[in-house]
RNA sequence: GCGGCUAUGGUGUAGUGGUUAGCACAGGACUCUGUGGCAGUCCCAGCACGGGUUCGAAUCCCGUUAGCCGCCCCA
């Protein structure tokens, strides 16, 4: 190989064949959980008008300017590669008048997403997420169901130690008020905050709550908590969500410092974190919450919604390091068809098609001529049954079956090979 | 976007100014044109890119790119 001329763009990567099993496994679990809860799959385009996300996210964070993978088209439209799934799903809901369907409209999705970030381990510019969205229903039962589903997926994938962190961040009625109280609390202790948080005090005071700096930890320990300042509606809603979680016997903890960066989030927010055996938080796997203000931000009618999403690469990394199951490779063949000689190759390729018609997976190496090389290939694939089809067999219409574990060989009539092999692989 | 560290065959690595750039694994072929795993022989394949210093650079310097780590942000 000479010089490498092309490489992937910054922060993008190929999902290689060896990693496909993990993504396949996650997709399978997500699909079955979503199906059980009557969520239908939706696919939205990878490109949207940048406005879709600007409106949803708000202009005040530097997410739009700095973090979105946006550019102008030949027609001079400002578009962007979708950075998340909720806004497009809401856009689709409004665009297709899904409020005319029975509510809530329950949807799930899976696919690539893009953020213009500086790449680091587990942080890419193109990555994959799956998510659930339930739109059109304000009932707290929905919140708890979304949490339950997210939890189910991780459990089924094999994560053992999970904790659900929940909080309520109020709505447009009570949150502004709480923000004021919180800001004045932090202002009075400004000198005890880290420099970043002194800056956050101006543009995003809620974010101070999840600062990792130790000095800020001490300050926030005495900070007012939003659950003590929820309006009546939000309080009642949150209480009911927790009652459902109790009923489901889900392992949750109240985390008063859990917030979301975006304005459209209301009421319930949650994250599912993996913990060590003694319960110490290791990292977040899923996050979500209620977004009752999103539809209005789009200029739509007042429509509540609730959802959750998870980054797949992060889950894959953990699945690998924990050596979690990915399920059987379903189409991994147990039979190898080896051929020797021109006639046998021709007839063998035809036989291969007969196996395909019978839906029996068979491996082959028709490009190789030496029997030794073919057996070696079969051995590498850890295949048990090798059908040896040579000149003599081709002329006399039979085939040799070699058991690679024992080395014993038997002869089978050619017209019975498919049916006999069908029986053989059934038993295994 | 800011700061730091790194960059040698496909993978993992040796090589601190003069080496035919070494090794292991993986891949391919043969030993053996009808029998795999073992062994042996051979093949494939590399100093990220671009400048500079020097008689001479994988090695020193600068820039670019990418990865990693931290910050910002985190939907």
Q: What is the DSSP string of A174-211?
A: THHHHHHHHHHHHHHTGGGS-HHHHHHHHH-GGGGGG-
- Residue A88 tokens, joined: 């497009």
Contact A377, A367 (CB under 8 A): no
Please tell me whether residues A23 and A147 are part of one structural domain: yes
pLDDT-based confidence at residue A4 (cuts at 50, 70, 90): low
Q: Whole-number Å distance, CA A83 to C1' B71?
A: 22
Selection from A329, A425, A328, A332 nearest residue A385 by Cα: A425
Please tell me whether residues A279 and A390 are part of one structural domain: no
Q: Over 60: is that where the pLDDT of A258 sits?
A: yes
Please tell me whether residues A296 and A359 are part of one structural domain: no
Final residue before a domain boundary, out of A321, A350, A370: A321
Q: Over 90: is that where the pLDDT of A132 sits?
A: yes
pLDDT-based confidence at residue A312 (cuts at 50, 70, 90): very high
Question: Using one digit for the tens of pLDDT, what is the confidence trace for A64-89?
Answer: 778 899 999 999 999 999 999 999 99
Most confident of A153-162, A261-270, A321-330: A153-162
List alpha helices for A100-254, DSSP H: 140-157, 175-188, 195-203, 214-221, 232-248
What is the residue whose two structure tokens read 């985390």?
A255
Please tell me whether residues A109 and A165 are part of one structural domain: yes
Please tell me whether residues A242 and A372 are part of one structural domain: no
pTM of the predicted model as reported, rounded to 2 decimal places: 0.91
Residue A181 lies in a domain: no
Residue A283 lies in a domain: yes
Final residue before a domain boundary, out of A268, A299, A321: A321
Question: Using one digit for the tens of pLDDT, what is the confidence trace for A210-244?
Answer: 887 778 888 888 899 999 999 999 999 999 999 99
pLDDT-based confidence at residue A400 (cuts at 50, 70, 90): very high
The CATH number of the domain where A76 resides is what?
3.30.930.10
Nearest amino-acid residue to B67, taking CA and C1': A120
Our count of domains for chain A comes to 2
Contact A181, A218 (CB under 8 A): no
Distance between CA atoms of A94 and A417, rounded to whole angstroms? 57
**Residue A1: predicted pLDDT:** 37
Q: Over 80: is that where the pLDDT of A3 sits?
A: no
Residue A199 lies in a domain: no
Q: Is the CB of A5 under 7 A from strand B?
A: no
A312-321 vs A140-157: helix crossing angle, rounded to 10: 40
Q: Whole-number Å distance, CA A4 to C1' B46?
A: 12
Share of chain A above pLDDT 70, in %: 97
Question: Using one digit for the tens of pLDDT, what is the confidence trace for A168-205?
Answer: 999 999 998 998 999 999 989 888 888 888 888 877 78
Q: Give the three-class secondary structure for A244.
A: helix
Question: Using one digit for the tens of pLDDT, what is the confidence trace for A18-42?
Answer: 889 999 999 999 999 999 999 999 9
Please tell me whether residues A264 and A400 are part of one structural domain: no
pLDDT-based confidence at residue A348 (cuts at 50, 70, 90): very high
Q: Over 90: is that where the pLDDT of A326 sits?
A: no
Please tell me whether residues A257 and A392 are part of one structural domain: no
Distance between CA atoms of A254 and A261, rounded to whole angstroms? 18
Consecutive H or E run containing A273: strand A266-275
A86-95 vs A50-57: helix crossing angle, rounded to 10: 110
Distance between CA atoms of A419 and A126, rounded to whole angstroms? 47
Q: Whole-number Å distance, CA A130 to C1' B69?
A: 28
Distance between CA atoms of A127 and A309, rounded to whole angstroms? 13
Please tell me whether residues A74 and A140 are part of one structural domain: yes
**Residue A213: predicted pLDDT:** 76
Please tell me whether residues A295 and A372 are part of one structural domain: no
Selection from A288, A271, A240 nearest residue A89 by Cα: A288
Q: Whole-number Å distance, CA A121 to C1' B17?
A: 36
Residue A219 lies in a domain: no
> Poorest-confidence range of A55-59, A295-299, A331-335, A342-346?
A55-59
Q: Whole-number Å distance, CA A5 to C1' B55?
A: 33
**Residue A45: predicted pLDDT:** 98
Q: Is the CB of A233 under 7 A from strand B?
A: no
Sort strands A162-168 and A281-290 into parallel, antiparallel or unpaired. unpaired
Residue A208 lies in a domain: no
Distance between CA atoms of A250 and A151, rounded to whole angstroms? 8
Final residue before a domain boundary, out of A282, A297, A321: A321
Please tell me whether residues A313 and A342 are part of one structural domain: no
- Within 7 Å of a protein beta carbon, the nucleotides of strand B are 1-3, 9-10, 27-30, 32-37, 45-49, 65-75
Q: Over 70: is that where the pLDDT of A140 sits?
A: yes
Average pLDDT on A36-58 reads 94
**Residue A69: predicted pLDDT:** 93
Residue A214 lies in a domain: no
Residue A98 lies in a domain: yes
The CATH number of the domain where A410 resides is what?
3.40.50.800
Residue A217 lies in a domain: no
Selection from A233, A234, A78 nearest residue A168 by Cα: A234
Domain that holds residue A416: 335-427
**Residue A6: predicted pLDDT:** 81
Please tell me whether residues A285 and A412 are part of one structural domain: no
Please tell me whether residues A357 and A266 are part of one structural domain: no
Selection from A110, A138, A117, A104 nearest residue A28 by Cα: A110
Complex ipTM, two decimals? 0.87
Distance between CA atoms of A83 and A28, rounded to whole angstroms? 23
Q: Over 90: is that where the pLDDT of A282 sits?
A: no
């Amino acid at each position: 190989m000479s010089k490498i001329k092309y490489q992937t763009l910054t922060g993008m990567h190929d999902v290689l064949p060896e990693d496909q099993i993990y993504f396949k496994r996650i997709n399978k679990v997500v699909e079955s959980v979503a199906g059980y809860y009557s969520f239908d799959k939706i696919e939205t385009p990878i490109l949207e008008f940048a406005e879709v996300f600007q409106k949803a996210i708000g202009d005040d964070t530097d997410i739009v300017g700095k973090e979105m993978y946006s550019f102008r088209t030949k027609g001079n439209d400002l578009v962007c590669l979708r950075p998340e799934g909720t806004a497009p799903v809401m856009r689709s809901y409004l665009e297709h008048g899904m409020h005319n369907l029975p509510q809530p409209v329950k949807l799930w999705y899976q696919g690539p997403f893009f953020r213009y970030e500086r790449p680091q381990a587990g942080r890419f510019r193109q990555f994959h997420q799956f998510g659930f969205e339930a739109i059109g229903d304000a009932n707290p039962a929905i919140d708890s169901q979304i949490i339950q589903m997210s939890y189910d997926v991780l459990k089924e994938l094999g994560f053992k130690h999970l904790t659900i962190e929940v909080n309520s961040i109020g709505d447009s009625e009570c949150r502004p008020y709480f923000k004021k109280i919180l800001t004045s609390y932090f202002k009075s202790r400004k000198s005890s905050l880290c420099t970043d948080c002194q800056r956050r005090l101006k543009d995003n005071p809620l974010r101070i709550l999840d600062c990792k700096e130790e000095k800020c930890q001490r300050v926030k320990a005495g900070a007012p908590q939003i659950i003590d300042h929820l309006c009546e509606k939000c309080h009642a809603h949150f209480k009911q969500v927790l009652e459902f979680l109790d009923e489901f016997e889900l392992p949750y903890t109240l985390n008063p410092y859990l917030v979301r960066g975006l304005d459209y989030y209301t009421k319930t927010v949650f994250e599912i974190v993996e913990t060590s055996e003694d319960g110490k938080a290791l990292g977040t796997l899923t996050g979500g919450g209620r977004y009752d203000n999103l539809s209005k931000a789009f200029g739509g009618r007042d429509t509540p919604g609730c959802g959750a999403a998870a980054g797949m690469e992060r889950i894959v990394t953990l699945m690998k390091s924990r050596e979690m199951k990915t399920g059987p490779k379903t189409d991994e063949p147990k039979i190898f068809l080896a051929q020797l000689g021109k006639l046998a190759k021709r007839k063998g390729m035809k036989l291969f098609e007969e196996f395909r018609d019978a839906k029996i997976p068979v491996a082959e190496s028709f490009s190789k001529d030496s029997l030794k090389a073919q057996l070696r290939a079969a051995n590498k694939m850890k295949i048990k049954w090798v059908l040896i089809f040579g000149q003599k067999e081709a002329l006399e219409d039979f085939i040799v079956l070699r058991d690679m574990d024992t080395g014993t060989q038997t002869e089978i009539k050619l017209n019975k090979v498919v049916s006999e092999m069908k029986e053989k692989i059934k038993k295994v």
